[in-house]
Amino acid sequence: MDFEEAIRQLCQKDKRYMPQAYQLVRLSLDLAQKNVHGEIKKNKLQPNRHVTGPQLLEGFRQHVLETYGPMSYTLLHSWGIKKSVDVGHIVFNIISTGMFGRSDEDRLEDFENVFDFKDAFLRPFEPNLKA
């Protein structure tokens, strides 16, 4: 099964998240792995490229802001991602398909309340009001 088919099946089972949410988390994982472990060297086997929930969320935050800018908060909400634990639900949904791996230490709770979405995706674009 390829990732597109996995997303299709996941969206049928869990209607909270749009397909774009799954693609976004996949791209965010790639960025988080790059941030934590560095670039993949061509023709070199990579050791475990596991990242923690908070590390993945930092890659998610960075990718979303760089890609969607001021529209980030609105797009995330329209795709069903309203708080950091939603990213965790998406990750664990993907894990259930076998497309993502999991360590024994990974828990959904690792994604809870890591950051506030308004602070992360709205505040950077608010005007600075100086008195």
Residue 38: the pLDDT is: 80
Distances 84 to 7, 11, 12, 57, 76 between C-alpha atoms, Å: 20, 19, 22, 7, 11
List the domain boundaries for the chain: 3-38+49-125
Q: Distance (Å, rounded) from C-alpha 111 to C-alpha 89?
A: 9
Q: Is the pLDDT of residue 105 over 80?
A: yes
Task: List CB contacts of 78: < 8 A, sequence separation 6 or more.
Answer: 18
Structure-token match 């996995």, residue found: 6
Q: What is the pTM of this model?
A: 0.88
Least confident among 27-36, 64-73, 87-96, 116-125: 27-36
Residue 75: the pLDDT is: 97
Is residue 117 within 8 A of residue 83, CB to CB? The reply is yes
Per-residue pLDDT band at 130 (split at 50, 70, 90): low
Residue 49: the pLDDT is: 73
Is residue 76 within 8 A of residue 115, CB to CB? The reply is no
Residue 122: the pLDDT is: 93
Q: Distance (Å, rounded) from C-alpha 50 to C-alpha 101?
A: 8
How many C-beta neighbours within 10 Å does residue 56 have? 28
Tell me which DSSP letter residue 41 carries: P
pLDDT tens sequence across 78-94: 999 999 999 999 999 99
Q: Distance (Å, rounded) from C-alpha 128 to C-alpha 92?
A: 38
pLDDT tens sequence across 5-62: 999 999 999 999 999 999 999 999 999 988 888 876 555 555 667 899 999 999 999 9
Residue 61: the pLDDT is: 97
